[in-house]
Structure 1
Amino acid sequence: MTVSQGPREGELTIDQLAARTGMTVRNVRAYSTRGLIPPPRLVGRTGYYGAEHVARLTLVREMLDQGYTLTAAERLLASAPSSGSQALGLYHSLMSPWDSEPEVLEPETLAAQARVPHDPAVVDRLIEMGLAERLEDGRLRIPNAGLLRAGLEVIGLGIPVEDVLTLVPGLRSEAGAVADSFVELFRSTLWADFMAAGMPDKEWPRMQEKVEAIIPLAGQALVAAFQEAMRGAIERAMGEELGAAAAGHAAG
């Protein structure tokens, strides 16, 4: 801690820091005790906080908002000990492709979009599967609107709701396996090399660029592989159905 005369430009008191980062003063003090932020610069008995403190606390708050644990935030900050802004930048690169505003709508609207009658039991099933969350006012919050919207379109084609919902666990499992494969590929190559080099400060921007590049590439590869697999599955199914139909006509 360094003692000097007067606050510097851009420095914040603990109350201002809490307001800037959307936290309580109590939480700021707790995170400081845990070592998530460095000590403030002291002027007399008053502590002043700068951009590094803002970056670190912003990272913690955003990760907690996304459902990560405080331990996960600590690990990410520990991986970039020289700069919280580096860790925050890497986190934003990891999360920005997936950031999407959840939708909030009435249960009846959800049923109308699927072109089926409103059924409270179906809503309960969606909540149980994590596809929807019930708000206090009775409306539904949809965390992954894209996934649910696709399901509604399929239901709208005339396929029973329960049959569509049955596909979701398997779909998530398969997608999770692919995601794990790409993450492990990144960890065992690019990230391992970065760590072996001592995670030099000058290489953080390049690492962030690589993260930003590999995420959409992984998505493109998954879509391309799925399209190829879907074509093959359709061809096989149509061949079986047409063959069965031809055999039926011949027998008749």
Structure 2
Amino acid sequence: MSAQHDDLVSETEALYTVDELAAATGMTVRTTRYYAGLGLLPPPTRRGRMAYYSVQHRARLDLIRALQDHGFTLAAIEKYLAKVPADATVEDLAVQRAMLTSWKTGGHEVLTRRQLETRAGRKLDDEAILRLASMMSINEVDDGRYEVLPAFEVGVKCLDLPIPLDSMVAAGEAINRHMDELADELTAVLKDRVLTPYLESPKTEDDKARFEQTMSSLRQLTLEAVVGGFQRAANQVISRSLNR
């Protein structure tokens, strides 16, 4: 960096050239410029012929990456960012990005029918595809391409069970309905009682690293608690049935 750039950084805290911004967010300079040209980023600060980007620009790019990981199209990303205030702070953007962090390792995955069969380790006829979709193991995103959902492996194992399709549909609808409600409530708790207080408090780089690890562990523990909670509730239903 030049001495002039070092002075800028000391005065305004972390200003980046487009090359530095791209490197910091793991994007190419071409992609960074493209997003800026689309208006996904606010205009940079100009110093003569040089353009400098702030930590807010970096936070917005990190948010864009999180949206991409969730399978958002560019049009959907533009629509989402249009709702984010232009003066949103780094903390505000960090909260939104943290809420978008996928609970599934491996990120968003879209496969062709043939790739899906390779992943399943078996041939998938139209009925099998319908059953997997009914069990919310896959989601057809367009003609012949499918999003792999977290329950894919479970769905494949269920294909050979002699269960009527309408039963699978009913079970899938019940699971989806209650999981949506549970996810909404747990997300609100996570945001209001964990993320927001953390982001509003003073913190060091070590604190940030520890918190990211904590969030990863919390997600895993939450998933285990959901499974355990269902097992407990199901056993209580059985006990009540036996006592009638």
**TM-score, normalised relative to structure 2:** 0.61
- Report the equivalent of 2:180: 176
Letter in 1 for 2:39: Y
Q: Distance in 2 between matches of 1:194 and 1:39?
A: 29
Deviations along 1:99-158, one digit per CA (max 9) or x if unpaired, are 33526353697599598x85436636766978332666x4x42330x3132123123222
Structure 1 SS opposite 2:159: helix
8 Å contact 1:108–1:118 — kept in the other structure? no
Letter in 1 for 2:167: D
8 Å contact 2:55–2:90 — kept in the other structure? no
1:106 to 113, 119, 127: 113
Q: Distance in 2 between matches of 1:96 and 1:200?
A: 24
How many correspondences in the alignment? Answer: 223
8 Å contact 1:31–1:37 — kept in the other structure? yes
8 Å contact 2:140–2:146 — kept in the other structure? yes
Q: Distance in 2 between matches of 1:111 and 1:235?
A: 42
Compared CA separation, residues 185 and 230, structure 1 to 2 (3 A): same
Structure 1 SS opposite 2:31: coil
- Report the equivalent of 1:151: 155
Compared CA separation, residues 31 and 125, structure 1 to 2 (3 A): farther
Q: Distance in 2 between matches of 1:111 and 1:166?
A: 28
Larger radius of gyration: 1
8 Å contact 2:138–2:152 — kept in the other structure? yes
- Report the equivalent of 1:39: 44
8 Å contact 1:41–1:49 — kept in the other structure? no
Unmatched runs of 5 consecutive residues or more in structure 1 = 241-252
Q: Distance in 1 between matches of 2:165 and 2:114?
A: 15
Compared CA separation, residues 94 and 5, structure 1 to 2 (3 A): closer
- Report the equivalent of 1:25: 33
Residues 1:189 and 2:193 aligned together = yes
How far does residue 168 in structure 1 lie from its aligned partner after superposition? 1.2
**Match runs of 1:73-112 below 5 Å:** 73=81, 75=84, 80-81=89-90, 87=94, 91=97, 95-101=101-107, 102=109, 104=111, 106=113, 110=117
Unmatched runs of 5 consecutive residues or more in structure 2 = 9-14
Letter in 2 for 1:28: A
Compared CA separation, residues 112 and 187, structure 1 to 2 (3 A): closer
How far does residue 37 in structure 1 lie from its aligned partner after superposition? 4.2
8 Å contact 1:135–1:141 — kept in the other structure? yes
Q: Distance in 1 between matches of 2:37 and 2:116?
A: 45
2:165 to 161, 168, 172: 161
Q: Distance in 2 between matches of 1:181 and 1:91?
A: 18
- Report the equivalent of 2:138: 131
Cα RMSD (Å) of the superposition?
Answer: 5.0
Letter in 2 for 1:155: L
Identity across matched positions, percent: 20
Q: Distance in 1 between matches of 2:43 and 2:170?
A: 49
**TM-score, normalised relative to structure 1:** 0.60
Compared CA separation, residues 65 and 111, structure 1 to 2 (3 A): closer
Q: Distance in 2 between matches of 1:83 and 1:192?
A: 9
